[in-house]
Structure 1
Amino acid sequence: MQAATDHPVEIKPKSWTMSTPSLLLPPVLLLAATVAMAESVINVKPGCQESCGGVAIPYPFGIGPGCFRPGFEINCVSTGIASMPVLAGATSSGQDDAVEVLELFVAPRPEARVRLPVAWQCFDANGTLTGDSSGDFNFNREGVYRISNTSNELYVLGCNSLIYTRGGEGGRFPYAYYAGCTTYANSSTDPQDGVCAGIGCCHVDIPPGLTDNLMHMFSDRGTWSHANQSFCPCDYAFIVEKGLYTFRASHLRSMPRITQTMPLVLDWAIRDNGSASMSCAAEAKKTTSYACVSNHSKCVDSTNGPGYICNCTQGYGGNPYVIGGCTNIDECAFPEKFPCHGVCKDTVGFYECRCPWGYESTGDPKENQCNPKLSRSAKIAIGVIVGTFGLIVVLLLTWLMFKHIELKAKNRELEEIERKNGGERLRNMKSLKIFTEQEIQKITDNNSKYLGKGSFGKVYKGTLPDTTKVAVKASIEVTEHTLDNFVKEVEIQSNMIHMNILKLLGCCLEVNVPLLVYEYAANGSLEDILYGKHGQPLQPLKLNSRLDIAIRSAEGLAYMHSYIQPTIQHGDVKPGNILLDSKLVPKISDFGLSKFLTTGKQYATVVVGCLGYMDPVFKHTGRLTEKSDVYSFGVVLLELICRKRITYGENGLIMEFKRAFDEEKSGRAMFDNEIAKEEDIPVLDEIGTLAIKCLKERCEERPHMASVARQLATLKETWEQRFLSM
């Protein structure tokens, strides 16, 4: 997808433990879809690619000829530093023709989580339409998808707006249903953050059977006039997964129109050739096209449109669309789901539970405890009569039982470590991959490629099975007191969707100190680029590259300050925490000192951070706000244009630059010679002026991060236009 140049709207981190009822599954079905099988799981056709960009591609989906069922083709495209799965053959009008795939699910609920564009229309001060997009995106040419009515909802943003979507075969009217709502607001102060009840924002449920993302918008001068509405120049409409969007009043002015997309859930079913009469009864007779090909699979009619889906039968799990895909579940490996108070034995399709020798139960040992049959004196008497041979047998059985207990204790220990690290809550996050310790060792080749030291431990380079490069680093040691903060930080980081924030791909919870898996930044940190690394000579860094790094870093921080709930303050902004990929695209990283800005929690108990970059207000009071990051970013701006390390005190970079600017009305004496061309001095002075504003002693006199990003973008655009006209 095309990268956004404006600030993306907030996508709320989803707490999957509070999922909507329609997504909660019975324990047996959930287990069948997720646990390890007794046999190797077959998920794709032989010779076909299994994943792309960390997303599994199970059949009937597939990449490449012969690997997918008609209508389920996936393309694996390169984004420059990694791979990304997209729906093949998607087309649109005036939009990027790529529908990013976030996750694909086969059973027991067939779903595809994707991103689709936002519809919009904008007006000038006279109410004249200046541009629009209906959000039309043909991702459903074969008719296999329906937009899930149980998992999504429709939002409309505007101040005098009526927008709706429609679908289905009509009766009295051309269509079977129309779903939408109206919004109204008199001024910019009417809409309120988090309130979406008709003032600036409204939302409604959608009916089943919806096949596209097309929005219908009213733009007449009459009832729906947009004249004299500069505080709210545009209308927006989009379908989004329930619980992942929170309205903010600023979205009425700052939502990026062309590039903004929203995550939503698509239901899918087998609908060959788009047949409206397709069902389990009809398709079971077509042996050549019938999709439920695995033994121990069954057909279920679709609940959202025509067609059918396949599930594995009870006691089996896996992929019913692949021959041999449904395999037996080892219930004994999961006693919390399949209890047994005696000796458990897996059977084909289910399991047996019996009391051990010498024990009995008053009922089924799956539900009742096993108790000794004989008293202690009776056991001694039997031991004497049986003699030495009997004693050996008893000892052998005892030893085997102890080994069994020891093995179970080891498994419980691993489970306890994972539970201590928040595994029960984090495993329910669809956007987060949970790695085992063995997988991490394979990814990092047993920690053979050392990258450096992070805030809490060492960092190693790794490679995922689909060749995506990653960085694996240690997090904090989780205790009873830090568990909630750790889980909350992982949830927010894994759901932060911005190209200038380092993406958290997954974590490993089977170790005492959790390991976090991030996307890999090939060019190291901005500090390495500015000042060299390990004695290497400095690399050239052109002015346009420095401007791009500044703009995109500011956009990443603005996203954290304005578009996440709760908002996040980084707390340690410096060149060492701004990583650069192979194309010098900056990625804000290292959230070890981040604080959540919530009521009553704006003060840090311990003031930590790099002194040269630290906000004086934070240093003296412990009060951390978004303006603290603005101060630190001002220091980074000075380093970018001067290429001089920050030092603290009267002769430090900040004081020297302010003196030079006060005396000469220009910072040319401080600018890096590599970029201090005479024709570029004005734009460098503008950047320096902006940096000084960020470094104001009083917090309230500093600009917001979103304003800093816009000013830098305007400076670059003006500079480039002047350069082209020369």
Structure 2
Amino acid sequence: MATPASRMLRLLPLLVLLAMVLAATADEEQQLPITLPGCPDKCGDVSIPYPFGIKANCFLPGFEVVCNETLTPPRPFLAADEPISNGTTATRPYMMASNYYYEPQRPLQLINESLSPVELMDISVSQGQLRVHGAFSFDCRINQTYHSTRVQLVYLPMATSFLVSQERNVLLVIGRKVEASMPVPLDCGTTLGVRTAGRCLGKGWCQGDIQVNTRGSKVEIKPGANYIDWPTSPCSYGMVVDNSWYNFSEQDLDGDSFLRRNEERGVPIVLHFTIKDIECPAEGEPPPVGYACVSNNSECIDGPILPSHYCNCSDGFHGNPYIPDGCKDIDECKQPKLYPCYGKCKNTPGGYECTCPTGKRGDPKAGHCTDIFPPAAKVSLGVIGGLFLMAVLAFYVLLRREKRKMRDFFEKNGGPTLEKVENIKIYKKEDLKPILKSTNIVGHGGFGEVYKGLLDNTLVAVKKPISSGNVAHNEQFANEVIIQSQVNHRNIVRLKGCCLEVDIPMLVYEFLPNGSLHDILHSNDKVPLDLDRRLSIAAESADGLAYMHSKANHKILHGDVKPANILLDDNFIPKISDFGISRLIATDKQHTNYVIGDMTYMDPVYLQSGLLTDKSDVYSFGVVLLELICRKKATHKDNNSIIRDFLQAHKTDNRANELFDKEVAIASNMEHLNCVAVIAVECLNLDVNQRPHMTDVAERLLVLKRSLRRE
């Protein structure tokens, strides 16, 4: 048989786990901010939440707290005028005590008066209230002919943001034969009086409601005419006090135990606090200057006396609404005693969802969940559930297979290597799925389709290759990633990333809004192009190709230079794109059996020999120059080629001039157009060695552009 000790040992891990959960919940509550960063949030054992504060810049005007650290433990006081003296015009709360002595047949005689600051007990930000140690008045007999009287009050000047709460306080009277009254401010014009005889809630004590919110807690008491009981009941008391505080005791009528117990610090009084002179804004209006409800998920509440307001966190949130982001969501599921749920609990912002367990329905918050189906129906549901489970398992298997397939593609396409390439982001297939729609297609290239879309909040162009059974595609696209990651030039399209989880990798480029040079020159909606812009496009495109040939880390050959592969940004700055074919040539020692590219612009020497060189790109660029100055589309057919026509016409100057685009073929431009034509003819030379280098072409075009602008 298990002993109690052994059973306790078995329960120990569970008890430890429970303690850890409770501790974690407590830590979460303690982490809620109550004041501004860097500000003390306690004085002794009392929390000081904002808008109250102790240090400078830690409180709103009128909410300063003084922490008296000479006391043990330290005690907080509402900041008071210094010095407080009789006759001054006070602007801050204070406590006043007036001591009298009384002899029969003679008026009360004042002995002394004292003023002191008001001690703070606690603050409730959510209720816009605080409790203070408040004053109480008393009348105590010393002998048959002499007794002393004290009239005490807490006074809250008009300049303060505080009021004695009508709802939370009562006028309390203790004594066998005594009447008490509370003078109400003059603007109210009434006096509230309570008499113990015949009206008390219990023998020797009674209480009455305060009729208005007031700025003072003064209570005047008058003992009855019969003094026979003074040896055993010498004292009577009157006070404004927190309505939940007092529990009557017979001892409070016998002797002066109540006086001795509470004389040092007084009794608790509840005060309202508000932000003065500022009302809550109407719905749709902007907050006024000085509006204090700065936290998200907070709300404004009108104060007891307008104009004023105080703040609270919205339903389902708790914390401090007076500080930024001070109201935090309540996790109701962690507090089942306050937020019951006898089913499945799910926390939501500002609330929680409570649903019945599977197969039951009802009101789970009230504990009423009953079975939905009878036993026979449950059998049918079990069969259906089994089929559904099989479908889920099949879907899971297919999903695993698809993930494995994508992982294989990733590794085959060089993912482990490309992950180490700088300045290149590897996107998942799901990242690009919203972009790859037919409505987003903006172009078709030699190797696939180009889509426009948003990625990381930036417009991009996604190139999706179309598989044609040619194994060279994988090598070509993988090489574009490696090569273009090393290219950094204003006239070359920037590669942002790639997706490798597909059979043929997809590339993500910066998006250029003005499309290609081919579109600008030959589309139905032709864009006007003066000679200056054409020379700029020619010179900068040549500079991009020159960079690839001689200035990049490794020599890069384009292999498919044409207007469709020269893209333009919103300022018509050209950028070279689609030069991945260079990988094919490098793999086969500069020769290839697969001549890939647009035949219209292809170097005839490369077409015959399979040998791609930088002079092959120069030839193709010569064709581009002809299209720029003639604005006629080059074709591969011999009977309709501007290359043939221009080379023949160039032998006769007059005939060549007739081929120039009429938009720019004006007298002042002819010299520059002929210079461009000369460069184009040199680029088209069938003798490879007679063609200029691209750096020379770029420099000569740049000189032409500068000379045009100087004229």
Answer whether TM exceeds 0.5 for this pair.
no
Q: Could you say which structure has the larger radius of gyration?
A: 2
Between 1 and 2, higher relative CO (CA 8 Å, sep ≥ 6) is seen in 1
TM-score between both structures, scaled by the size of structure 1: 0.42
Give me the TM-score of the superposition, normalised by structure 2: 0.42
